Structure 1
Amino acid sequence: MIQHPQDFDHHYVDLNRIRMHYVQAGHGHELLVLLHGFPECWWSWRHLLALVRDTPALAARYSVIAPDLRGYNETDRPGWGYELDVLVQDVVELIRSTGRRRAIVAGHDWGGNIAWSLAITRPTWVERLIVLNCPHPALFAAAIGTNWRQMRRSWYIAFFQLPALPELLIRANGYAFIERAFRGLAANPARFTDADIGMFTSAIAAPGAATAAVNYYRALIQQGPRGMFKGTGMRVSAPTLLIWGERDSALGKELTYGTERFAPDLRIEYIGDASHWVQQDQPERVNRSILAFLAQPR
């Protein structure tokens, strides 16, 4: 059993044939769901969770839940079910488990891909959309096919299609990959404490967790969206905030250009001194941006 910090409320729920772990802050009527990316866990949202927990007015307004996504950390790690439509259904059922039929959904990296896809294919479930350093799926697909610079940046997607080798890389030298990924790529490495690195390392070192994390990429290429976007026009009707750390070594800023064609009610905020790990590099700035966006009338 992974030892989680005890100053957050931890919960488990059975949904979509798995048991999902999530952390909650606040008890308000507005539900905000926070989706993490690779190779993370709910802890990547620790700064926003702590802010809501420690601010009575925010705790009274929002119920913020941050799950460990399928295959990660304390959530079940089945050998199947990493296709995008399944991941979207996980979030739908998580929202439903709270007794609600609508939520504000925020996602970073892979969580952003799930959030975009949820807003496109299941729009009634998304009240507002917040995405951090993850391009709209249509723009990313176009860039992978035409943008040589982005193709080079995305080399790891092809590498992750190999059997076993990606997991060996992740596990090598006591999971040194984790510290390299976070501190090595961060704009502000000091933001990642030893405790933070320890949390992410423990999460990916759980039995089967490395394979589960890589399976997101394998399913993306091997299965594709499986027709889930057919007839949608790839459009998002919900008010959308796109936050982008400009020092992202994996995803170029140009991937944001043209997003308004797919999300007409769009606001974009670029943060110069932030990497791909934008909400951890610049937590105060990101938290302010999110709360300001949520305070705006629809």
Structure 2
Amino acid sequence: MTILSETWQHGFLPTNHLRLHYVTQGEGELMLMLHGFPEFWYSWRHQIPEFAKDYKVVAIDLRGYNESDKPIALEAYTISEFILDVKGIIEALGYDRCTLVSHDWGGTIAWHFAYAYPQMLDKLIVLNLPHPAKFAEGLRTLPQLLRSWYIFLFQLPWLPEFLLQWNNCEAIGKAFSEVAIDKTAFSQIDLQNYREAAAKPGSLTAMLNYYRNVRSALPSKQWDVLEIPTLMIWGENDAALGKELTYGTEAYVRNLTLRYIPHCSHWVQQEQPQLVNQYMREFLSPSN
């Protein structure tokens, strides 16, 4: 795997009876980054050096991904376990709060963490993942059900693993290269790094187990209004999650900033890193 910067430190943190791998750069207040599927810490490669100027940036491999521990049991991949992972990471780093930055499945975890431990967050940033209540609403519509076809495929035993590992995890690379609007956003090295991470023993099943337990992330309940200042950034050409899933989020988030990026796919922080970094900077400025 190609290492991008000698100034980035790699390590492992104990949390919730696991060891999770992380990459860090910078000093100061904590900025914790949570990736999505089928990524790993590497998806934040454009943000780590930018925000390390002002923060201690920590990008983790979620449980089951890349170098992190990979529990075998399906019940190890529920939203309650992911929440405890994040809490343990913050505490293991010696902090009691952070700015939480997230994308895709990392966004799902971040939303739930914000409700479970609001006192541990200064600000919340979520990229291309709707509020859980809005996603649950979307899944009751035909257009979003059709976009979410892969969730139903991933419920099957062994077949998804077979399809994703075929030909050196070719499908993992194509998930980035073929979906991106800007075809130059991912180099061959980037795609190879993603394929190598997914090919590690136990990784594919662990990654798919997030979807096999997706019901745990969609509880039927009344959602309180979140008080934490929140930024949502949305690539408008997301093939899996419709833009309409963002509509009405202000009913669940009192202090919401919503930024759309046109001509951009689901992989927003990798495809349009300069804009994402700019919007994050504006949101994080002391005047906000």
Fold in common (TM above 0.5): yes
How far has the Cα of 1:42 moved from its partner?
A: 0.2
The letter of the residue matching 1:72 is Y
Name the counterpart of 1:233. 223
Are residue 131 (structure 1) and residue 131 (structure 2) matched? Answer: no
The letter of the residue matching 1:91 is V
The letter of the residue matching 2:43 is S
CA RMSD, aligned part only?
A: 1.6
Name the counterpart of 1:89. 84
In the alignment, the residues of structure 2 paired with residue 3 and residue 281 of structure 1 have an alpha-carbon distance, to the nearest angstrom, of 19
Are residue 247 (structure 1) and residue 237 (structure 2) matched? Answer: yes
> Unaligned regions of 5+ residues in structure 1, if any?
none
Secondary structure of 1:88's counterpart equals helix
Mapping of residues 138-177 of structure 1, within 5 Å: 138-145=133-140, 147-177=141-171
Determine which of 66, 74, 79 is the counterpart of 2:67.
Answer: 74
Question: Deviations 1:62-117 (Å, cap 9, x if unpaired)?
Answer: 11100000000000001131100100110011011111111100110000000111
> Are the structure 2 counterparts of residues 209 and 4 from structure 1 closer, same or farther at C-alpha, using a change threshold of 3 Å?
farther
Name the counterpart of 2:284. 294
CA contact (8 A) 1:120 1:235 kept: no
> Are the structure 2 counterparts of residues 161 and 182 from structure 1 closer, same or farther at C-alpha, using a change threshold of 3 Å?
same
Determine which of 183, 194, 197 is the counterpart of 2:191.
Answer: 197
> Unaligned regions of 5+ residues in structure 2, if any?
none
Q: Percentage identity across aligned positions?
A: 44
In the alignment, the residues of structure 2 paired with residue 9 and residue 258 of structure 1 have an alpha-carbon distance, to the nearest angstrom, of 40
Name the counterpart of 1:279. 269
Are residue 63 (structure 1) and residue 62 (structure 2) matched? Answer: no
In the alignment, the residues of structure 1 paired with residue 91 and residue 80 of structure 2 have an alpha-carbon distance, to the nearest angstrom, of 16
In the alignment, the residues of structure 2 paired with residue 6 and residue 191 of structure 1 have an alpha-carbon distance, to the nearest angstrom, of 19
Alignment length (residue pairs): 285
Are residue 214 (structure 1) and residue 213 (structure 2) matched? Answer: no
> Are the structure 2 counterparts of residues 96 and 209 from structure 1 closer, same or farther at C-alpha, using a change threshold of 3 Å?
same
How far has the Cα of 1:11 moved from its partner?
A: 1.3
Name the counterpart of 1:43. 42
CA contact (8 A) 1:69 1:75 kept: yes
Secondary structure of 2:240's counterpart equals coil
> Are the structure 2 counterparts of residues 18 and 186 from structure 1 closer, same or farther at C-alpha, using a change threshold of 3 Å?
same
TM-score, normalising length from structure 2? 0.95
Secondary structure of 1:71's counterpart equals coil
How far has the Cα of 1:198 moved from its partner?
A: 1.2
In the alignment, the residues of structure 1 paired with residue 147 and residue 58 of structure 2 have an alpha-carbon distance, to the nearest angstrom, of 32
Name the counterpart of 1:16. 16
TM-score, normalising length from structure 1? 0.92
CA contact (8 A) 1:39 1:204 kept: yes
The letter of the residue matching 2:249 is T
